[in-house]
Structure 1
Amino acid sequence: MLTVASTASLRVYVSEWENGRRPISARYAKILRSLLGITDDELHGKADALSAPISADGYEELISRIDSARSVSLTMVKTFMDQTELFRTMDRQLGAASLVDQVTGHLATLEDALTFAVLPETRRPVALALAGAATMAAWQALDVGAVERAWRHYELGKRAAQEANEPMYLAHATAEQAYVLCDAGRTSVAVQLVRDAQRVGGKAMSPRLKAWLYAAEAEICARAGMPDDCRRALESAMRYLPPGDEARDADMLSIFLNEGHLSRWRGSALALIGDDEAVSSLYDALDSADPTFIRASAGLRCDLAQAHMSRGEYDQAHDHLRQARLVANRTGSVRYRRLIEQLTQQL
């Protein structure tokens, strides 16, 4: 038999529990969880848990949420995607550090809409919007050094892409997730993952996405010390890239890739494997760089520093690292600051 205090004492205890003046012991927590039908976290985490009326069931609240999710029309989904695009633009110009709270709230809204959406015609467009937003948020988290959050966002993006039945978005999220492994020093596994992303995309991929995936593979192979694989992947990227200045596909807004971007990517990969062609490729990219990609310019300067260092041109490398550091500090990029320090130690 479980012994409890008298009725008078219990009244005092309840008052003190409600006001936070007395901790709830394990013995009474067990009783209250069963009595109130709440979890231990809810019991200890909400000051009003004991005084709030407990409904017999949660159907009224559930139906309210479902009805709200049903009102998420295609127009509202477009608003979500427009907001993602705004955050993407702000990120590349101002950096991710200033957007953490806004992007977190954006993801929470999309997750909530998907959780309570019932029918496929509502779920799929919301899931697609979530896939794009989660992948963007993951890259931003990686940039500010929140590695575990980046990994979790990529997993969320992959699940959302599967829900939306969008293999292009699934392939993109999978390939970007390989960079988390690469930055963590697991380059061999990263190579496997980026190649698996190409398999996942299959025949559904656009030529631009294929080129993007091969370029990603080339960079990761370079970081894994696989120069021949790197060069083969670069050749494939150049073969698939559509001609012209256009950098995006209408049905794949998550990636940017045209000849200028690929020139920079090629130079970056070649610099990592010590190829002399890297310098000319990177300076071509610098001349044609989109001025709105401010944070990316730090990466381009790091690539140029790497390329000059491989040729023993340390003064030029030092100058590019100085300029890269200014941009990285301005945008709050932890990832680029770390790279800059690694390269600086090699000078």
Structure 2
Amino acid sequence: MSKGLRQARLTRDWSQERLVREIERYAKRHLSHVASTASLRVYVSEWENGRRSISPRYASILRGLLGIADSELMGQPAGDMEALPTVGGYDDLVSRIDSARSVSLTMVDTFMKQTELLRTVDRQMGASGLVDQMTGHLSTLEDALTFAVLPETRRPVARALAGAATLAAWQALDVGSVERAWKHYELGKRAAHEANEPMYLAHAMAEQAYVLCDAERPELAVDLVRDAWRAGAGRLSPRLQAWLHAAEAEICARAGLTDDCRRSLDLAAEALPGGTEDRDPDMLSIFLNGAHLTRWRGNALAILGDDQAVSSLYMALERLDPSFIRAAAGLRCDLAQAHLARDEYDQAQEHLRQARLLASRTGSVRHRRRIEQLTKRL
């Protein structure tokens, strides 16, 4: 029985009929041939009940459509790392070690550029279609690290792996693969330790706190994001400090810690470097400038039900980079929440309509879940 397929379908609140329609739409967009509608209905039922195995062609479609890995699709735990060669396999082991020694700084730079490309595609098109590429990218990095021997080779690869694993974790969380997200964050933290990169470690810990928030454990999330400050060991860049303060503010808001939230928002504003630049040269996964922080402030205030949230959020909407599609969906959700706090139901409904369209474009399960929760309050 393909428990993973059934779970992925139910996570999206899709019926089997809806899944069939989505398979047909996906195939049409990607110029792929699939069976007739009647046959697909039979296939979906048989896949979920274990009477038919999922062929490689349909597995590829389902991975791209649902944003899940093969192990999740089949409902199996992720396999352990490939076993090291046993007695008699020394030639293969030495060959892989020699290959790892040849990983140069140029190659590490290529790894980082690949991560940036995946980040850009994710930002503009969503994470659901990137599972194959991201899985392969992480596998290559893990393999390079596993067989690298000396620190001068291991540390740059570990740093690249820390950044890629944290991105993969956020993508997995966005498409509703919570367990995969958690494991990727753990991988990112281990890689950051290996690389002796406290900035990457603090960032991974703070993002991992959002998994706890989504699991309705905001108090534990507050503890984790505050522990991220200790992990940073006073070696965080100003922009990352501002980002971490803002993340702590949002998580405190979700935990109902009003005063702590407002204090963290003020600290974020103080720490943020001036100007319109949004990338942190020391931490490329951090995008934060005054416009982004205005949106984050509005988000936190909307969670608190503060009347000032609306003005901050509309200001952020005017300044939002149009390529940040997922961020736009989140901002529309924030505006809906802020209007609901003021009993302005027509405005809230319009923003939820816009958010639903944007979430559909990116395939964000996380945003769709929030949209449905807010819709119930109308």
Band the TM-score falls in, shorter-chain normalisation:
0.7 to 0.9
Deviation digits for residues 117-137 of structure 1 (CA, Å, limit 9, x no counterpart) = 011110000000000000000
Give 1:58's aligned amino acid: G
Deviations 1:7-53, CA, capped at 9 Å, x for gaps: xxxxxxxxxxxxxxxxxxxxxxxxxxxxxxxxxxxxxxxxxxxxxxx
CA distance 1:284–1:55, shift in 2 (3 Å): closer
Give the corresponding residue for 1:114. 145
- Report the alpha carbon displacement of residue 56 of structure 1 after superposing the two structures with TM: 5.2
| Structure 1 CA distance for aligned equivalents of residues 243 and 229 of structure 2 | 10
Any conservation in 1 of the 2:239–2:288 contact (CA below 8 Å)? yes
Q: Give the corresponding residue for 2:238.
A: 207
Query: Residue 242 in 1 paired to residue 273 in 2?
Result: yes
What SS does the corresponding residue of 2:183 show, helix, strand or coil? helix
Please, which of 217, 220, 229 is the counterpart of residue 198 of structure 1? 229
Q: Look up the match of 1:168.
A: 199
User: Match for 2:354 among 297, 309, 323?
Assistant: 323
TM value normalised by structure 2: 0.77
Paired position in structure 2 for 1:179: 210
1:346 counterpart SS class: coil
1:228-255 Cα offsets, whole Å, 9 max, x none, are 1110110110010001111112111011
**Alpha-carbon displacement from aligned partner over 1:178-230 (angstroms, at most 9, x marks no partner):** 00000000000000000110111121101110100010000001111111111
- Partner in structure 1 of residue 134 of structure 2: 103
Tell me the secondary structure at the aligned position of residue 321 of structure 1. Answer: helix
Question: Which deviates more from structure 2 when the two are superposed, residues 110-119 or residues 244-253?
Answer: 244-253
Secondary structure (helix, strand or coil) at the match of 1:309 reads helix
Query: If you compute each CA radius of gyration, which structure gives the higher value, 1 or 2?
Result: 1
Partner of 2:252: 221
Q: 1:118 to 1:234 in 2, by over 3 A?
A: same
Q: Where has structure 1 moved over 4 Å in runs of 4 or more?
A: none
Secondary structure of residue in 2 paired with 1:204 = coil
Match of 2:364 in 1: 333
Match of 1:260 among 291, 316, 321: 291
Separation in structure 1 between the aligned mates of residue 87 and residue 202 of structure 2, nearest angstrom: 45
Q: 1:214 to 1:55 in 2, by over 3 A?
A: closer
Map of 1:231 onto structure 2: 262
For residues 98 and 155 of structure 2, what CA distance do their matches in structure 1 show? Answer: 17
Q: 1:60 to 1:241 in 2, by over 3 A?
A: same
In the alignment, what sits opposite 1:299? 330
1:119-160 deviation digits (Å, cap 9, x = unpaired): 111000000000000000000000000000000000000000
Q: Percent identity?
A: 76
- In the aligned structure 1, how far is the partner of 2:375 from the partner of 2:275? 37
Deviation at 1:175, TM superposition (A): 0.3
Report whether the alignment pairs 1:90 with 2:108. no
Counterpart-to-counterpart distance in 1, 2:186 and 2:207: 11
Counterpart CA distance in 2 for 1:301 and 1:122 is: 45
1:287 matched residue in structure 2:
318
Query: What is the aligned partner in structure 1 of residue 41 from structure 2?
Result: none
- Structure 1, unaligned stretches of length 5 or more? 1-53
Over aligned residues, Cα RMSD in angstroms? 1.0
What amino acid is the match of 2:142?
E
* Distance (whole Å) between structure 2 residues aligned to residue 303 and residue 290 of structure 1: 17
Asked if 1:139 corresponds to 2:170, the answer is yes
Taking the TM superposition and a 5 Å limit, the aligned residue runs for 1:12-23 are none
CA contact (8 A) 2:237 2:282 kept: no
SS in 2 for 1:254: strand
- Tell me the SS of whatever aligns to 1:203: coil
Alignment partner of 2:241: what SS? helix
Residues paired across the two proteins, number: 294
Question: Do the aligned partners of residues 311 and 74 (structure 1) sit closer, same or farther apart at CA in structure 2, a change above 3 Å counting?
Answer: same
Name the amino acid aligned to 2:106: T
Q: Which residue of 1 aligns with 2:108?
A: 77
CA contact (8 A) 2:142 2:161 kept: yes
Describe the shift of the 1:55–1:98 C-alpha distance in structure 2 as closer, same or farther (beyond 3 A).
closer
Structure 1 residue matching 2:194: 3-state secondary structure: helix
Q: Deviations over 1:300-345 (max 9, x none)?
A: 0000000000001000000000000000011100000000000000
**In structure 2, C-alpha distance between the alignment counterparts of 1:344 and 1:210, rounded to whole Å:** 34
- TM superposition score normalised by structure 1: 0.84
SS for the counterpart of 1:253 is: strand
